[in-house]
Amino acid sequence: MTTFNIREQHAASINNVGGDMVVEGNFVSVGSLGELRGELTRLVAEVGRLELPAGQRDAVESELAGAEAEAAAPEPDAGGIARRLEQATAILRDAGAVVGGGTAVVQSLQRLGELLGPAGHTLLALLSAI
């Protein structure tokens, strides 16, 4: 069984494979990397506007800082970024912040889930359950 999750394609090369092809790693395309970093910056700003208890704010900010650091790496790990965002989303959900006025936060998280491609599927599923 083969599954392809292709939304937008901006490629320097396209590979047509007549046999087996193994692709390893979690990729963030160079074209979307700037957009991903910009969306992370927007998310941090939107979370900053939320009223959160101090402990939960610290935890969310720590996860977002980790996601930003990963996105700034020479070879960002989409899976690592997604896991950080999933943790931040779970904390925000538990704090009631996503339902209670976090529309811009949810929109930003959804966009990030899309930009992360297959690595963002769990994040998108988590958001759809809120």
3-state secondary structure of 129: coil
In terms of Cα–Cα distance, which of 27, 28, 50 is closest to 39? Answer: 28
Q: How many CA atoms lie within 13 A of 81 on its CB side?
A: 29
Given a cut of 70, the residues of the chain with pLDDT beneath it are: 1-31, 100-101
Residue appearing with tokens 């208890």 = 53
**pLDDT at position 64:** 98
